[in-house]
Structures are given as C-alpha cells and as structure tokens.
Structure 1
Amino acid sequence: MKKNNTVWGYIFLAPQLVGLLAFALIPLGFAFVLSFMKWDGFGEKTFVGLSNFIGQFSNPVFWKALGNTAYYTVLYIPIGITISLVLAIALNKIKGKELYRIFFFMPVITSSVSVGVIWMWILNGDFGILNQALSYIGIAGPQWLTDTKWVMISIAMLSIWWQLGYNMVIFLAGLQGISNSYYEAAEIDGATGFQKFMHITLPLLSPTTFFVTIMSIISSFQVFDQAFVMTNGGPAKSSYTIVYHVYENAFINFRMGESSAAAMILFVIILIFTLIQFRVSKRWVHYEE
C-alpha cells in the first residue's frame, strides 16, 4: 500500500515536474549558455566569453532600462503594499467581504493587453477620463503617456490598480489567521485601536507582508506588458524597462547572446534583492508561537 501511494504521488507530480523542467529549468540553462555566445537566432553560435556582459555594462541603454525599472519599483512597491493592506483591514470585519474580494480581484485575472488598452484610453492626455475628471475640479491633467516625467508614474498607477486585489487577498488571509484572543487581551488592558494595530496586527502580519514584498519585488523588476502595450518603451525610452531591453535585443535586433546576458544580469539582481530581504527579515518578521 505504501509503495503504491509513492508511485501515485510521483504520477501526480510528473506533469508539474515536466512543466518545470521543459518551460523553466531547461530554458534558463540554455539562456545561461547563450549569454556567452554570439548568435542571431539562425546561424552558427560563436563563443565570445564575457563580451556580452561587458557590452551590457558599457551600454547606456542598458543603464537607462535598469534605472527606469528601479524607479518603477520604488513607486510601485510601497504604495501598492500600503493600499492593499489598508483595504484588507477595511474589508476584514465588514459584511459581504467575499463580494468585495471578488470585485477587487477581477482585474488580476484580466489579461495584461486588455488592461493596457483600457488604461491607454483612461490616461489619454487629450480626451481621457482621468483628465476629464480632473478638469471638473480645475486641474489641468498632464500628458500621462507622452510626457517623460509622468509615463513611469502612469505605468505604476496601472500596476498598483491591477495587482491590488491579489495583494489584498493575501493580506486578508493573513489577518484572518490572527487569533482574536490577542485583541481581546489588549482591550482588557485598555489598548486603543492604533495600539492594537501597531503592536498586534503589524507584527503578526509580518510574515504575510514579507511574502507580499518579495513577490512585489520580483514582479516589479519583470515589468514589461504595460510598457509594451501602452508606450512601446517611449517617449524617449522613459518607460524602457530591463525586460523590454531583453525583448528588443532578442526579437527585434536578433542579438540573442546580448539579450541572454541582460536576462542573466536581471536574474542576479532579483536573486540579490531576494537574499537581502531574507537576511533582513530576521529583524522584523515575527512568527506566532
């Protein structure tokens, strides 16, 4: 019986393992090898050593893409996490939270292209809904998608709205895992609502916050769809992200080796930030005992 259970376990795991191997590990290994090659996607591959990496670090376009991505990350993560947490706390105790959860989660399951096209109309500087609404209160809205100062802010706004439901649902799950006995004991001691939030909710929610932060960092460094659909990397490469740089090198310029080198650099950057977060998390993440 035990042997049969083991066999069936491997059978059920097989599709996931095959998918992981075929669509993640093998392509990752191929990209790593390709990062040391010169290849246009069709002819012979030529080994060039570290030339592709040196070329990326000496390429101002790569640094422009990296800077734009970092700027987007700084905009997206703190604002997105804060709004998600506030919404989760607001919905945690009200009636019908399941219905609100569905409404807020709907954008998450909407395709990125659809979301991008809709927000192109919303953020249109001449006849967009947002600028029309601002005009009613006497504010002249900017050219959101064609002004170099506002384009990354616009993409960050879209992303915050798009992923708000996902982070909110994660926070809601974390909030519902906190025992009411902590709050009851705090009320007996005369704690205010703010004190309960600071000394009970935030510390016990720190593992959830840590998870949301890690996932947000990974997704923010991989931003591509929004810039591709809405701005095509413009204007003047102001929304040109690192993944857009990888895409352009590979499928427009057919420099597969340089594209793979940029992808490997991005992989290392994400890995470093993730490891730093795990190291720092020991100071602020508190697990319920």
Structure 2
Amino acid sequence: MSDTARSAGFWKRNQLKIAPWAFLAPGAIMFLLYVLIPIVQSVWISFHDWDGLGDKVWIGLGNYVELLDDDTFYVALKNNLIWLALYLLAIPMGLATALFLNQTVWGIRLYKSLFFFPFVISQVVVGLMFTWFYAPDFGLFSQLIKWLTGTEIAVLADERFVTLGIIVAGLWPQTAYCMILYLTGLNNLNPEQIEAARMDNARGWRLLWHVILPQLAPATFIAMVVTVIGALRSFDLVSIMTAGGPYGSSQVLSYFMYEQALSEYGYRMGYGAAIAVVLFLIMMVFITLFIVRMIAQERNR
C-alpha cells in the first residue's frame, strides 16, 4: 500500500476526531500567544525590579510587600470595588431598556437608534462629553444643580463625588451594550414556552422571572463577565476625565498600574506588573463565582 493511500485511510478513520482540533488550533494558538503567555510573563515580571530596558533584578515578593504599604493602592482598590458594585447596575438597566425596545410600536426603530448610539462612540468621546456636562462654568449638570440648590458643585474636582461622576459616565455606554445583548436574546426566545406560560395565567413579573429570564441566562452571563471586566479596568474614562485626581481620589488599579509602569513616576515595570496581577486575581474571583453559581443553577433545573 502506498503512503498516499495509507494517509487517506488514516484520515477517513480519524476524521471526526481530528477535524474539531484542526478548526480549534488557530484560535488556541492565538489564545496561547496573546493571552496565556503574557499572563505568565506578567506574573514573572512582578517578582523583579525592572525598568523595562535594563536587566531584571529578582526581588521575590518585594513588589507585593511594597504594594501592601502603599496608601494609593488601597484608595484604588476601594474605588474599584465601588466601580464594580455600581457598574453592575448596567445589567438590569440594559434588560429594562431591551424589554422596552422589544415592542412593536410606531417609531421603535428611532428609539433603538438613540439607545444604541452610546455603544458606537469612543470611550474618549464619552469622557469628554461628561467632562463638559459636569463643567462648573457651563456644564448642563452644574447649571441644573445651581438652579435647584443655588450652589455650584464641581463634580470632577470634589473628592466626594468624582468617582461617582465617572461611573455614571461609564454606565451610559455599558447599559447600551447590555441592552444589545438582551435584545439579541429576546429575539431568540422560545415562543411556545411563553405561550404555554400565558395559558397558565403567567403575566408580568411572574412571566419575566420564571420563563423569560431563564432563557436569557447566556446573555446575562456575557453581560456579567463584560461588565465586571469593564468595571475593574476602567482606565480610559479615569484617564480622560481626571487622570486620577483630584489628589488621587479617583484612582483605580488600572490607572495606578499605568502610572507606575509607563508614566513620569518612573518606569517600574515590576511594580506595575504586581498591580496587574492583583487586578487579574480580583477579576477572576468574581467571574469564577458567577460561573460556579450559573453551573449550580443549571444542574438544579
């Protein structure tokens, strides 16, 4: 038997086993090169004192010990937790918006376009828009507060309100993103289940909770993961709107990492990598908890 015939016979016998791996291989290689290997490299760099150009100096857990004594780290960590708690509001707001837009009424396409608009514009543009919105001299929000209370509030210059102001800016496009996910899910609902529930007198909240939301579980999972990641990175809006100010009060871990590793504070790649590792671990904890909960719910059905 020739080598060609032998190869053809091997392929026919193992085609169903080999074909899936052949399709997965390109994506798996990209994931390995651009996700897994950089994560391992970041962890390795976090154990060194390195300026990004010279030789690495092994210091073990030195960067992490210094991080635990850094007051800015705790401010950034607290702000990230606030971001996470409030950013999750984008999920129910996106669901409510999707339910509203999933109607067959006159002008619904126009409404969808208006709600979709925040998703397609850059975060930089969102940051600039809200910076002007909060501006004490001419900002619409400041003028409204002045008209209601008689006093002006400089949101982005006030340590009490600056983080909340940036979060509100981030919630605008994030809600639009969750809305799109839920609109896609609503278009794929099983109409037979909904009709059967209505025949059993399921209406309003009961229909939503027991019939619609379970079918939207995949959309909810994606929305949760993306929202958690967006809340914990939250770099672009902080950079555009306050650069961590005033006096570091709006600092978050992602911007703190950038300052330490790539800004005028002195190219401390090892210290920045340690911050990145902490941020990654926090992100994985929240995502893992949600995955475990979702798997448990699926098993109980």
Match of 2:277 among 258, 264, 276: 264
Match of 1:150 among 161, 169, 172: 161
**Aligned mates of 1:138, 1:273 — CA distance in 2:** 40
TM-score, scaled to structure 2: 0.84
Q: 1:135-284 alignment to 2 at 5 Å?
A: 135=146, 140=151, 142-252=153-263, 253-284=266-297
Assess if the C-alpha contact under 8 Å between 1:104 and 1:165 holds in 2. Answer: yes
Answering whether residue 71 of structure 2 is matched by residue 60 of structure 1, we say yes
Q: How far 1:10 sits from its partner (Å)?
A: 5.3
Q: How far 1:12 sits from its partner (Å)?
A: 9.8
Deviates more, 1:47-56 or 1:205-214: 205-214
Secondary structure of 1:40's partner? coil
Partner of 2:134: 123
**Aligned mates of 1:98, 1:86 — CA distance in 2:** 17
Assess if the C-alpha contact under 8 Å between 1:31 and 1:260 holds in 2. Answer: yes
Return the index of the structure with the highest Cα Rg: 2
Q: How far 1:186 sits from its partner (Å)?
A: 2.7
Q: How far 1:85 sits from its partner (Å)?
A: 0.6
Structure 1: state its 5+ residue gaps. none
Q: Which one-letter code corresponds to 1:182 in the other structure?
A: Q
Assess if the C-alpha contact under 8 Å between 1:250 and 1:259 holds in 2. Answer: yes
CA pair 94-135 structure 1, distance change in 2 beyond 3 A: farther
Secondary structure of 2:182's partner? helix
Q: Which one-letter code corresponds to 1:157 in the other structure?
A: V
Answering whether residue 90 of structure 2 is matched by residue 80 of structure 1, we say yes
Q: How far 1:271 sits from its partner (Å)?
A: 1.1
Q: How far 1:29 sits from its partner (Å)?
A: 2.5
Assess if the C-alpha contact under 8 Å between 2:174 and 2:227 holds in 1. Answer: no
Q: How far 1:207 sits from its partner (Å)?
A: 3.3
Q: Which one-letter code corresponds to 1:44 in the other structure?
A: D
Residues 245-286 of structure 1 show CA distances to partners (whole Å, capped at 9, x for unaligned) of 110110122111111111111111111111111122245468
**Aligned mates of 2:209, 2:23 — CA distance in 1:** 47
Assess if the C-alpha contact under 8 Å between 1:125 and 1:145 holds in 2. Answer: no
Deviates more, 1:60-69 or 1:172-181: 172-181
Secondary structure of 2:155's partner? coil
Q: How far 1:17 sits from its partner (Å)?
A: 5.4
Partner of 1:31: 42
TM-score, scaled to structure 1: 0.87
Q: How far 1:194 sits from its partner (Å)?
A: 2.6
Structure 2: state its 5+ residue gaps. 1-7
Q: How far 1:217 sits from its partner (Å)?
A: 1.0
Q: How far 1:93 sits from its partner (Å)?
A: 2.1
Q: How far 1:107 sits from its partner (Å)?
A: 2.2
Residues 192-250 of structure 1 show CA distances to partners (whole Å, capped at 9, x for unaligned) of 32321232222332332232112211221111110011001011212100001110110
Q: Which one-letter code corresponds to 2:198 in the other structure?
A: E
Partner of 2:5: none
**Aligned mates of 2:145, 2:192 — CA distance in 1:** 46
**Aligned mates of 2:114, 2:171 — CA distance in 1:** 15
Q: How far 1:27 sits from its partner (Å)?
A: 2.6
CA pair 24-178 structure 1, distance change in 2 beyond 3 A: same
Q: How far 1:100 sits from its partner (Å)?
A: 3.9
**Aligned mates of 1:88, 1:123 — CA distance in 2:** 28
Q: Which one-letter code corresponds to 1:271 in the other structure?
A: M
Secondary structure of 2:249's partner? coil
Q: How far 1:75 sits from its partner (Å)?
A: 1.3
CA pair 263-130 structure 1, distance change in 2 beyond 3 A: same
**Aligned mates of 1:132, 1:285 — CA distance in 2:** 50
Secondary structure of 2:157's partner? coil
Secondary structure of 2:156's partner? coil
Match of 1:92 among 99, 102, 110: 102
Q: Which one-letter code corresponds to 1:280 in the other structure?
A: R
Q: Which one-letter code corresponds to 1:165 in the other structure?
A: A
